[in-house]
Structures are given as structure tokens and as C-alpha cells.
């Protein structure tokens, strides 16, 4: 039996790369972030629109472009223990560190103050994700979902299960239409919905 390409492990951030459809590339966005004079960059967009996936792709580019730089990723949007890790992470920050705060809005007021103080005192760059533009942060990119990006993501996932299933079959299905109508910009939830579609189509 073929592996269901819509299982959680295939949809989680970093499982597939992020692709821009508005004329930029992940490499461009990484450079845009590195050039910010404020050292505060934001990735903004609705739930499930690709913010965490984009950040995971940017981390890979940063690692290749700045191998000497310590990158500290904290994923408050996906890791329930990330808040507990904040204190330990701050203690490890050094000048020129790059801190990734995925799910910045989930930080409490005092945690944000601690982050800001530590970052400013050591001239640390921060890249944060949020649903709305963040005060004091320059927006690097706004994530969104359209037909082209949806198709590309679906094709990437289906390739993991071999050639027996095509994107057209899924994208033209009633399940997909109903799910997209229900979830709007939240593509991730529609991908989770397709787990059941795949199970039914394979039997």
C-alpha cells in the first residue's frame, strides 16, 4: 500500500520547500532580510498560508550563506515546548546570532520584552512570523495562497507516492472544492483534509 502523501510528516514545515509565485525567490527574501538596517524582519500571512514553510526554507539558505553564524530557531506555532526553551535559547545568543521566532504572536508581553532587550543589547537579527504586520518589524514577505501555489504544493506531495495519482484528479474532486471553500487561505487544513480523500481513492 502506498504511503499517504497527506500524512502530517509530509505537510509539516520544511517537509517540502517554499516557492514564491510573485517574482521573488527564497534566496531573494533571505538577502532582503539580511540587508534590513533594523535587523527586524517579519513574514506575515494567514493561518496555513506557508509562513513556517518559508521560514524553514530561509533557514537552509542562511545556513549555506552564513555558515559561521549561529541560527536559533524557535517554533512557537508548532512546538508546544518552545516557550520553555526561550530562556535557554536567549542564554545562548551571541552578537551576530540570527533568531527565528515562528509564531511570534504567541509570545506573552514580558517574553517579547526579554527578546527585544536581548536582541538589541547584542545586535542580533530577528526574523518572526505573524498573522499581521508587527510593530517595529519590517515586513519581508506576505504569504498567500492561489491556484498556482496550491497546485504546486499538491504536486510536490503527490510525487512522494509515485506516479499513480495525478494532481488533476485531486484538484477537480468535490472533496477539494468543499475544503477550499471552507478553509480559504488556510491551505494546510485542506491538505490535512485530503488524507481521507487519498485513503478512499486507494481502496
pLDDT digits (tens, 9 = 90+) for 63-121: 999 898 999 998 886 666 666 788 889 999 998 899 999 999 888 888 899 999 999 99
Q: What is the distance between the alpha carbons of residues 128 and 43, in angstroms, rounded to a whole number?
A: 6
pLDDT at 87: 86
pLDDT at 186: 95
Is 35 a residue whose pLDDT tops 90?
A: yes
pLDDT at 95: 87
Classify residue 106 by its DSSP letter: G
pLDDT at 78: 61
The SS3 of residue 73 is strand
How do residues 145-173 score in pLDDT, each as one tens digit? 999 999 999 999 988 766 556 889 899 99
Residues ≥6 apart with Cβ < 8 Å to 157: 5, 6, 10, 11, 16, 191
Is 199 a residue whose pLDDT tops 80?
A: yes
Q: Are the beta carbons of 49 and 144 closer than 8 angstroms?
A: yes
DSSP 121-154: HTT-EEEEEESSPPTT-EEEEE----HHHHHHHH
Half-sphere exposure of 131 (CA within 13 A, CB side): 8
Q: Are the beta carbons of 109 and 138 closer than 8 angstroms?
A: no
Q: Can you read off the three cell numbers belonging to residue 100? A: 527565528
Place 6 in a pLDDT band, splitting at 50, 70 and 90.
very high
Q: What is the distance between the alpha carbons of residues 124 and 116, in angstroms, rounded to a whole number?
A: 9
Q: Across the strands, what pairs with 100? A: 73, 127
pLDDT at 23: 82
CATH 3.40.309.10 given to domain 26-142: no
Classify residue 104 by its DSSP letter: G
Place 138 in a pLDDT band, splitting at 50, 70 and 90.
very high
Q: What percent of the chain has pLDDT over 70?
A: 93
Q: Can you read off the three cell numbers belonging to residue 116? A: 527585544
Q: Which pTM does this prediction carry?
A: 0.90
- What are the strands of the beta sheet with 71-75, ordered from one edge? 71-75, 98-102, 125-130, 40-44, 138-142
Q: What is the distance between the alpha carbons of residues 21 and 155, in angstroms, rounded to a whole number?
A: 15
pLDDT at 176: 96
Q: Can you read off the three cell numbers belonging to residue 155? A: 504536486
pLDDT at 131: 95
Q: Across the strands, what pairs with 139? A: 42
Taking the domains of the chain in order of start, what are their residue ranges?
Answer: 26-142, 146-201
Amino acid at each position: 500500500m502506498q504511503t499517504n502523501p497527506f500524512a502530517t510528516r509530509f505537510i509539516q514545515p520544511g517537509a517540502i520547500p517554499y516557492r514564491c509565485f510573485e517574482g521573488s525567490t527564497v534566496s531573494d527574501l533571505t538577502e532582503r532580510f539580511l540587508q534590513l538596517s533594523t535587523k527586524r524582519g517579519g513574514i506575515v500571512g494567514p493561518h496555513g498560508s506557508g509562513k513556517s514553510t518559508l521560514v524553514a526554507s530561509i533557514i537552509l539558505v542562511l545556513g549555506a550563506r552564513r555558515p559561521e553564524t549561529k541560527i536559533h530557531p524557535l517554533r512557537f506555532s508548532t512546538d508546544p515546548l518552545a516557550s520553555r526553551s526561550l530562556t535557554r535559547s536567549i542564554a545562548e545568543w551571541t552578537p551576530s546570532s540570527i533568531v527565528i521566532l515562528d509564531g511570534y504572536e504567541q509570545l506573552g508581553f514580558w517574553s517579547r520584552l526579554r527578546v527585544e532587550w536581548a536582541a538589541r543589547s547584542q545586535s542580533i537579527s530577528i526574523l518572526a512570523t505573524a498573522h499581521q504586520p508587527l510593530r517595529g518589524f519590517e515586513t519581508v514577505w506576505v504569504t498567500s495562497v492561489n491556484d498556482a501555489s496550491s497546485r504546486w504544493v499538491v504536486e510536490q506531495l503527490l510525487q512522494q507516492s509515485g506516479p499513480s495519482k495525478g494532481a488533476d484528479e485531486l484538484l477537480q474532486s468535490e472533496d477539494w472544492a468543499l475544503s477550499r471553500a471552507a478553509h480559504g487561505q488556510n491551505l494546510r487544513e485542506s491538505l490535512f483534509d485530503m488524507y481521507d480523500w487519498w485513503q478512499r481513492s486507494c481502496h
